[in-house]
Amino acid sequence: MVLWLLGLIRRRAWRLLATSAGIGLSVALIAAIGAFLTSSKATMTARAIATVAVDWQIEVQQGSDPGAVLATARQTPGVATAMPVQFGRTTGFEAAIAGSTQSTGPGVVLGMPNGYRSAFPGEVRQLTGRSDGVLLAQQTAANLHAAPGDTIRIGRPGLPPVPVRVDGVIDLPQADSLFQKVGAPPQSQPSAPPDNVVLMPAERFDRLMGPIAAVDPAAITTQIHVQRNGELPHAPAAAYTAVVGAAHNLEAASAGAAVVGDNLAAALDAARSDAAYAQILFLFLGLPGAVLAALLTAAVAGSGALRRRREQALLRVRGFGTRRVVGLAALEAAVIGVLGGVLGVLVAAFVGQSAFGSTSFVAGTRSTLLWFGIAFVAGLAIAGTTVLLPTVRDLRGSSVVTARRQVDLVRSPLWMRLGLDIVCLVISLLVFRASSSNNYSLVLAPEGVPTISVSYWAFFGPALLWIGGALLLWRLVALALAHGRGVLTVLVRPLTGRLARTTAASMSRQRVPLVRSVVLLALAISFAVSTATFNATYRQQAEADAVLTNGADVTVTESPGVVVGPNAAATLATVPGVRRVEPLQHRLAYVGSDLQDFYGVRPDTIAGATALQDAYFAGGTARGLLQQLAQRPDSILVSDETVKDFQLAPGDLLRLRLQDSRTKSFRTVPFHYAGIVKEFPTAPRDSFFVANAAYVAKATGSDAIGSFLLDTGGKNQAAVAADVRRKLGDSAKVTDLTQVRAQVGSSLTSVDLAGLTRFELSFAVLIAAGAGGLVLALGLAERRRTFAIATVLGARRQQLRGLVLSEALAVLIGGLIGGALVAWALAGMLIKVLTGVFDPPPSTAAVPWPYLATTLVAAAAAIAVGALASARGSTRPAVEELREL
């Protein structure tokens, strides 16, 4: 066995290294992507936790002792901080400033204990004035036209109002969760937080608002705000289960005195569906690459199958038994498997440091090491399957005479006779139609339910398409080589001259390695193209989601009650870096008894400041529907839900009620339904309208603008936003696209998918090069004896080079055409099946042409190098070549 091993190293070192490299690719893909999946889940959990300002809001029930609930909360395992916060309902606020009196509707006063802002830093953001004392929310300050130093009056239910002096103005970034209805189901939660909010120290709250409890006990409530520091599992689903269980334990311990508003569980609830999609992406993007690398290994090992059978036949002639021959094959498989496994693990570790980042990659070290171990075992299994298993099969099914044949008998495989390729494609189409239907959900994560459901059967569509496409390509290329000798002769004649007929016969007779090279190259190209297209489309739609949420590069949102006309755009246009400013009306309109958001736009210019895709509309393109708004000002775009609810047809008259700025009452304004709008910048995800701003201004007597969309050309968004804030002060809210990207990117895939993409696509290029060049070169190297005999029979060097180049061109052309067709179908299927990953769904796929060109050049270069090396070897002296063989 030692002698055999030394002989392999001395005589077959390059083949051993090539086979080990193929196994290393598989091991590296499995190890790195598996570890990426683990670290993805851990980082998603950490990101979800970081977005929560207050982990638990424990509401003390009426008649219960807040002190007892506070003590129970502080004794709960995993609780780091617990502080009481009091909520008082008011009848409204009033301010007399600069000779005019401003008043608001009902609001809320919060009593905050000392140290609250340092314990929960994400809950309150300071804008102007002092950070202690009486603090007005930004919107409340705008409604009252109040600033630090002014005096306002707080209306108290059943008691006279009390005056207080304003010390500062603040913003409440987590207002939605802060003012939630604790314990209520999602459908009964308030649609928006209160507009009017005042914060004051707890002692002052007790003095000013405490007496209300005697008149109206329900007007005063107490919450215990909790910050947890307990260790949580890395996976979001497991962390969600742990947090929900801890919250239920606290409610049980309080004996009904408290109800927990679990903000932390709500954040983890969203993250667990993201984790499920990360797992899906692992299967869609990683598993095909690992399978392809294994197929490449099998092809490299299979290229020497004839030689290996002849060597094993010689061993059997010299007295070796079956067990000893299998032992030698097992030794070769073990060497290849261990070498490839070690190489793959080292590459995966390097990738973890460079592509994914060491911090995120090593999160959950135990799971990462587990994936490394699984990948290493998979490498050994691939080695055994590609090297040892064929040996055992040959020993059982062939004689010594059969094994010493120089040319295999070519027979159609069983799958071809059964039509398995057609069956796979038909089933793939059926599965795709079912999994891409409107009512289909790939990931189902019911709110409040600790388990999620992933429909893995949807993977069969793309998987069967990949397999069926490869088998169909195998069939077509094999048929072309078997029955197209005449056409082949004509095609190769410019390269081989008088040897054209012999070249065509050689390609036809030994078509199996040639077909294998074509199919492997096609699979590699399809994998690279489909993966790159999916990743590019994902990045495109992630950016589109951010633009939809924010509206533009920078968005200025006016505070309620502040009336600003479109002429204010000229002031914003003077800020350095601003290329265009687009005003956008935002109103509320009644359709029947339903109140919906209403947006007035300038149809001729809105598309220049923000991104609008045809997928956002139905019943026409984005450009066509906007032109209709411009040509017929009373046209209106309606959400799909409203169209279904009111059974609208194009051209129908739609009477909406909008507030008239002169009478302050709602008046009926006629519109004509022109099309459906599914998504629109800054609009909510549910029902809303889009109409012509000039027509709305004329009908309501007001051209007031709700927000301004600022186009910076995609550059210096944060800096421009900072300049706009300094220019406007606290009169408006300014957001930029860089902030929104971080907010909407709840899944790790939107953050680390760039590293995964670089890793996947780099390996795809290597696999494409190996499938094209390496397999071809090794196959040609096994036929040196054929080239030597052809030389003895009179073939010239130019003709032998032409023979080699003919096969190389056949592999390149067949692989590129087949790979392009499979990739086109596979990319479209992936994007359609994974619609849940894209928000909003793409209208067209993004094609990364530079990467595709790089892949094609790499594959062509590898094939050229392999062919030229083989051509050079084919011109060696025939006697020397035959002596070595």
Q: What is the pLDDT of residue 375?
A: 86
- pLDDT computed for residue 381 by the predictor: 87
880 has pLDDT over 60: no
Global pTM exceeds 0.75 = no
3-class secondary structure, 97:
strand
Structure confidence at residue 189 (pLDDT): 76
Q: Between these two residues, 361 and 766, which has the higher pLDDT value?
A: 766
Give the model's confidence band at 444: pLDDT under 50 very low, under 70 low, under 90 confident, else very high.
Answer: low
d(Cα 245, Cα 260) in Å, to the nearest integer? 11
Asked if residue 443 has pLDDT above 60, the reply is: no
Please give the radius of gyration of the chain, using alpha carbons only, rounded to the nearest integer: 35
Report the range out of 242-251, 402-411, 451-460 with the highest average pLDDT.
242-251
CA-wise closest residue to 590 among 652, 657, 677: 657
The pLDDT value recorded for residue 45 is 84
Hey, what amino acid is at 371? W
Dump pLDDT digits (tens) for 374-413: 888 888 888 888 778 877 777 766 555 554 454 555 567 8
* Model pLDDT for residues 405-436, shown as the tens digit of each residue: 545 555 678 888 889 999 999 998 888 887 77
Rounded mean pLDDT, 596-602:
92
pLDDT value of residue 325: 77
State percent of the chain over pLDDT 70: 84
- State the chain's mean pLDDT as an integer: 82
Give the tens place of pLDDT for each residue, 264-320.
998 888 788 777 776 776 667 677 777 877 777 777 666 666 666 777 777 777 777
- Residue 334 to residues 291, 328, 373, 377: CA-CA distances in angstroms? 20, 10, 16, 11
Q: What pLDDT is stored for residue 425 in this prediction?
A: 92
Q: What is the mean pLDDT of residues 511-539?
A: 82
- Average pLDDT for 45-58: 88
Higher pLDDT, 364 or 826: 826
Q: Which residue has the higher pLDDT, 583 or 362?
A: 583
Could you tell me the end-to-end alpha-carbon distance of the chain, in angstroms, rounded to an integer? 23
> What is the average per-residue pLDDT within 522-538?
82
477 Cβ contact partners less than 8 Å away, ≥ 6 residues apart: 511, 514, 515, 518, 519, 814, 818
Reported as a pLDDT band with limits 50, 70 and 90, residue 449 is very low
Confidence tier at 595 by pLDDT (50, 70, 90): confident
| Per-residue pLDDT band at 751 (split at 50, 70, 90) | very low
> Is the C-alpha dihedral spanning 495, 501, 506, 512 positive or negative?
positive
Q: Report the C-alpha gap between 170 and 731 in whole angstroms.
A: 12
What is residue 128's DSSP assignment? Answer: E
pLDDT tier at 615 (50, 70, 90 boundaries)? Answer: confident
- Position 747 scores a pLDDT of 46
H/E run at residue 161: strand 159-165
Averaged pLDDT for residues 140-156: 89
pLDDT confidence tier of residue 370, bands split at 50, 70 and 90: confident
Tell me, what DSSP letter sits at residue 239?
H
Predicted local distance difference test score (pLDDT) of residue 209: 93
- Pairwise pLDDT comparison (481 vs 406), residue with the higher score: 481
Pairing state between β 594-601 and 653-659:
unpaired
Residues 777-821 have pLDDT tens digits of: 666 665 666 666 666 666 677 777 777 788 888 888 988 899 889
Distance between CA 612 and CA 603 in Å, rounded? 12
8 Å CB contact between 839 and 541: yes
Lowest mean pLDDT among 193-207, 516-530, 536-550: 536-550
For residue 360, the model assigns a pLDDT of 47
Is pLDDT above 60 for 21? Answer: yes
State the pLDDT confidence band at 450, using cuts at 50, 70 and 90.
very low
- How far, CA to CA in Å, does 15 sit from each of 300, 582, 776, 825, 871? 8, 64, 13, 35, 18
Give the pLDDT confidence score for residue 776 in this predicted structure.
66
Please give the pLDDT value at position 746.
45
Among residues 117, 114, 131, 119, which one has the least CA distance to residue 203? 114
pLDDT bin (cut points 50, 70, 90) of residue 598 is very high
| Residue 566, token pair as written in the block | 């479109």
Q: Which of 726, 878, 860, 696 is nearest to 797 (CA)?
A: 878
Length of the chain: 885
pLDDT tops 70 at residue 241? yes
